[in-house]
Amino acid sequence: MTTKKILITPGDGIGPEVTEQAVQILKKVAPIFDLQLELTEKPVGGTAYDLTGTPLPDETLDAAKNSDAVLLGAVGGPKWEPLDFSVRPERGLLKLRSELELYANLRPAAIYGDLVNASTLKPEVVDGADLMVVRELTGGIYFGKPRGVEERNGERVGFNTLVYSESEIRRIAKVGFEIAMKRRRKLTSVDKANVLESTEFWREIVTEVGKDFPDAELSHMYADNAAMQIIRDPKQFDTMVTTNMFGDILSDAAAMMTGSLGMLPSASIGGSVGMYEPVHGSAPDIAGEDKANPLAMILSVGMMMRYSFDLTEADEMIINAVVETLEKYRTVDIMAEGKTQIGCREMGEKVLQSLEQNNS
Checking if the pLDDT of 86 tops 80, the result is yes
Task: Give the C-alpha separation, 356 to 153, whole Å.
Answer: 67
- Express as a percent the part of the chain with pLDDT over 70: 100
Q: What is the pLDDT of residue 171?
A: 97
Mean pLDDT of 6-31: 97
Sheet holding 35-41, edge to edge: 35-41, 2-11, 69-74, 274-278, 265-269, 104-110, 130-136, 239-242, 186-191, 217-222
pLDDT confidence of residue 101: 93
Q: Give the residue with greater pLDDT, 261 vs 85.
A: 85
pLDDT at position 348: 98
User: If residue 112 lies in a helix (H) or strand (E), which one and from where to where?
Assistant: none
- Comparing 252 with 298, the larger pLDDT belongs to 298
Catalytic site positions: 142, 192, 224, 248, 252
User: For all residues of the chain together, what is the average pLDDT?
Assistant: 95
pLDDT digits (tens, 9 = 90+) for 129-164: 999 999 999 999 999 999 999 999 999 999 999 999
In three-state secondary structure terms, 203 is helix
**Residue 360 pLDDT > 80, yes or no?**
no
Query: Does the pLDDT at position 114 exceed 80?
Result: no
Instruction: Give residue 245's pLDDT.
Output: 96
| Per-residue confidence band for 166, with pLDDT thresholds at 50, 70 and 90 | very high
Of 262, 325, 319, the C-alpha closest to 295 is 262
Has residue 74 got a pLDDT over 80? yes
The CB-side HSE value for 86 (13 A sphere, CA atoms) comes to 3
Instruction: Compute φ and ψ for 282, nearest 5 degrees.
Output: -85, -10
pLDDT value for 181: 96
pLDDT in the model for residue 65: 97
- What are the residues whose beta carbons fall under 8 Å from the beta carbon of 272, sequence distance 6 or more? 100, 101
**Beta-sheet pairing, 130-136 with 239-242:** parallel
Tell me 83's DSSP state: S
CA pair distance 47, 31, nearest whole angstrom: 31
Q: What is the mean pLDDT of residues 107-120?
A: 83
CATH architecture observed for domain 1-108+261-360 = 3-Layer(aba) Sandwich (3.40)
Local confidence band at 108 (pLDDT 50, 70, 90 cut-offs): very high
Predicted local distance difference test score (pLDDT) of residue 87: 96
Q: Quick one: what percent of the chain has pLDDT higher than 90?
A: 85
- Residue 258 — pLDDT band, cuts 50, 70, 90? confident
Mean pLDDT value across residues 22-34: 96
Confidence of residue 358 (pLDDT cuts 50, 70, 90): confident
Q: Kindly report, as residue ranges, where domains of CATH 3.40.718.10 are found in the chain.
A: 1-108+261-360, 120-257
| Residue pLDDT, tens place only, 39-59 | 999 999 999 999 999 999 999
Q: What is the distance between the alpha carbons of residues 195 and 36, in angstroms, rounded to a whole number? A: 51
**Which residues are 149's β-sheet partners?**
158
Averaged pLDDT, 6-22: 98
- Write the class of the CATH domain 120-257: alpha beta
Q: How confident is the model at residue 111 (pLDDT cuts 50, 70, 90)?
A: confident
pLDDT of residue 113: 75
Which pLDDT value is given to residue 112? 80
Task: Please report the pLDDT score of residue 90 as a whole number.
Answer: 94
Give residue-wise pLDDT tens across range 323-357: 999 999 999 998 888 999 999 999 999 999 999 99
> pTM of this prediction?
0.90
